[in-house]
Amino acid sequence: MNPPFEVTILGSSSASPTKTRHHSAQFVSLDGSHFLVDCGEGAQRQLLLHGIRFSRIRYILISHLHGDHFFGLPGLLSTMNLGGRTEPLLIAGPAGLQGLMEQMLSASHVELKFELSYLITNPEASELLLETAQCSVHSIPLEHRIPCTGFIFREKTPLRHLNREACDEHRIPVSAYEALLAGEDFVQPDGIRIPNNVLTNPGRAPRSYAYISDTIYLPDLAKSIRGVDLLYHEATFMHDLLDRAVSTFHTTAKQAALLAHAAEVKQLLIGHFSARYRDTEGLLAEAQEVFPATAVAEEGLTFRF
């Protein structure tokens, strides 16, 4: 069975929270790699409520410095510390985030007992932010009122499968299997090299998840996110408020769906809804008209793929 690739929604509101929606935050998990993506106010309680242990989170990615995407960070760090955390933590986010967090923690007399490091994201170009045993994470430049990036998680290419018949035919010793699965050729004692692709078959396709935080509609994003298994895209407004979306550098549900269609993603997840929408039926219907495989980023839901 494939290791689970999961996205749990902790918040789906835009700038103002509502009675039913918190500020942006998601828990992204691939086998042993666990990420918190954005950390709006209340994220720590949302993690608690959904049974996600803080100690699992090794990386926190912050898309931009609007409060609804990072005001939950000082509280989460404080509670992690109080809980006796020892695991190191890496925070990737815009320039300025580190200084701000250090001031908040110092003013509130928190002395961190775990290793915390920061990585500054580049809002101008896609960059490899980090690599774990399971996946890589690249930033994606977005266009919002302030510097902002999305993130794309790509599973590492899964191991190839042995071609047992070919291995037997070439009398490959069992001791060589591990090297074959890792992609190496087999060299016989007589010096003859048998190419890896003769002895193995490709594994399944690696999976990927793109998180597109606050941005004006960017059709060109299709290139960076082509074919991802799951695309989360903000959909702050419905399309009748396109003017408002443009002037505030946000996207409509229809535009998010157009991008999903153009990029041939497998599934679209819309979120970051304006507080004016009491329910999300209209937003979902509008997106599904263009791209049927759309779901709403309802808080508490976990998307597995």
300 is a contact residue toward a copy of itself (CB under 8 A): no
Contacts of residue 188, defined as CB under 8 A and 6 or more positions apart, other chains included, come to 170, 194
DSSP per-residue string spanning 114-131: S-EEEEE--SSS--EEEE
Q: What is the 3-state secondary structure (H, E, C) of 3-38?
A: CCEEEEEEECECCCCCCCCCCCEEEEEECCEEEEEE
User: With binding defined as CB under 8 A, does residue 79 bind a copy of itself?
Assistant: yes
Q: Count the residues of the shown chain that bind a copy of itself, applying the rule CB under 8 A.
A: 36
Active-site residue identified among 68, 190, 214, 229 = 68
Query: Do strands 89-93 and 59-61 pair parallel, antiparallel, or not at all (unpaired)?
Result: parallel
Which residues are within 8 A (CB) of 205 and not within 5 positions of it... i.e. 6 or more apart?
A: none
Q: Where are the beta strands (DSSP E) in 45-127?
A: 59-61, 89-93, 116-120
20 versus 117: smaller Cβ distance to a copy of itself: 20
For the question of residue 68 being annotated catalytic, the response is yes
Q: Which of 34, 66, 239, 250 binds a copy of itself (CB under 8 A)?
A: 66
Q: How many CA atoms lie within 13 A of 249 on its CB side?
A: 13
The answer to whether 78 contacts a copy of itself (rule: CB under 8 A) is: yes
74 binds a copy of itself (CB under 8 A): yes
Stretch of 70-78, 164-172, 173-181, 227-235 contacting a copy of itself, by CB under 8 A: 70-78
Question: Of the candidates 7, 15, 137, 287, which one interacts with a copy of itself according to CB under 8 A?
Answer: 15
Residue with Cβ nearer a copy of itself (83 or 88): 83
Report if residue 187 touches a copy of itself, rule: CB under 8 A: no
DSSP secondary structure of 192-230: PEEPHHHHEE--PPPPEEEEE-S----TTHHHHHTT-SE
To a copy of itself, the closest distance from the beta carbon of 91 in angstroms equals 15
For residue 83, state whether it binds a copy of itself (rule: CB under 8 A): yes
Structure-block tokens of residue 255: 């535009």
- In whole angstroms, the minimum distance from the beta carbon of 154 to a copy of itself comes to 30
Sites of contact with a copy of itself (CB under 8 A): 15-19, 22-23, 41-42, 44-45, 48-49, 65-68, 70-72, 74-75, 78-79, 82-83, 96, 100, 103-104, 107-110, 145-146
